[in-house]
Amino acid sequence: MLTIGNRTFESPLVLAPLSGISDLPYRLINRKVGCCLAFTEMISAHAMVYENKKTLHMLDMDEADRPLGLQIMGGEPDIIKRALEIAEQHKFDLIDFNSACPARKVSGSGKGAALMKDLKKLEEILKAIIANTDLPATVKIRAGWDALSINAVETAQLAESVGMAAVFIHGRTKSQGYRGNVDYGIIKKVKEAVGIPVIASGDALSPELIKRMFDETGCDGVILARGALGNPWLFNATTEFLKTGIVPPRPSGTELAEIMKAHLALSLQTLGERLAIVRFRKFFAWYAKGLPAKKLKDSAFRAASADEMYRQIDVLAEISLAGKCPEGTSTDVIFGSRG
């Protein structure tokens, strides 16, 4: 279980907010196989306030898509206040503020991870969030800006002091992006320095690595990001591994096809055929990771209709059922080893 503010969630495993990925269909698919708490993809407070149609569409939710947190990004307290007024109409369960995004277009404009270099400004923003929402509010941070400015402990203590209900921390610096090693030590230091829940992020790619995160940091929860791409089964597999020490067998080709078809159907329903097919192409590649399906992935990227994409899914299921992979490759790559 995981408690954040006055909300308690059944699992300590959280689906990460990923830009361009964590849409409604993606979240619903992950909920089918064990995800409890999820977040919208990172949403610009500025775009919300100025009623960008694409941004407002990202606020879509479904009753089956609960509990759901809204993750916002911005650099102006007044704009964030107005965005929170809009968010009230959507009945989110949590509000998360992103001060961790390393993308150049975000941090280069003084937002995201750049706020870890300006804690005074970050404090103003966090106070504005606390003052303008009744929901539990959290903040996502990184280890620091670079190796010479590791300030996650100070930032987490600041967040706690202004009333944030939890801290999400990625164990890399902004300069690292998603490269190099995750610093388990800094996450542990943050956990020891604050009394609010600490949810850790970084390399949660398999049940074994997720258990390592819990064991080495003492964190209260773990965010599943890249590890869940094409592998929503990671939630149930990790829950089982944490309980029994055994990783369940990878899903069969039939199960793979069922989830992929359900994901595609939700995308078609939500986005319409043209956009759904375009967006699903990258998901097809993630679902196919570890399988000998390079030519099939190429075909899927050329698919222009739902019927074509469904046919590609059927072929991928046959490949998975055959269990044949190139030498040196294992389908366990995406589902976690069974060791």
Angle between helices 294-302 and 273-287 (to 10 degrees): 170
C-alpha span between 232 and 29 (Å, rounded): 7
> Active site residue: 35, 36, 101, 219, which one?
101
Instruction: Judge whether 32 and 262 are in contact, CB under 8 Å.
Output: yes
Q: Is 101 labeled as catalytic in the residue annotation?
A: yes
**Active-site residue set:** 101
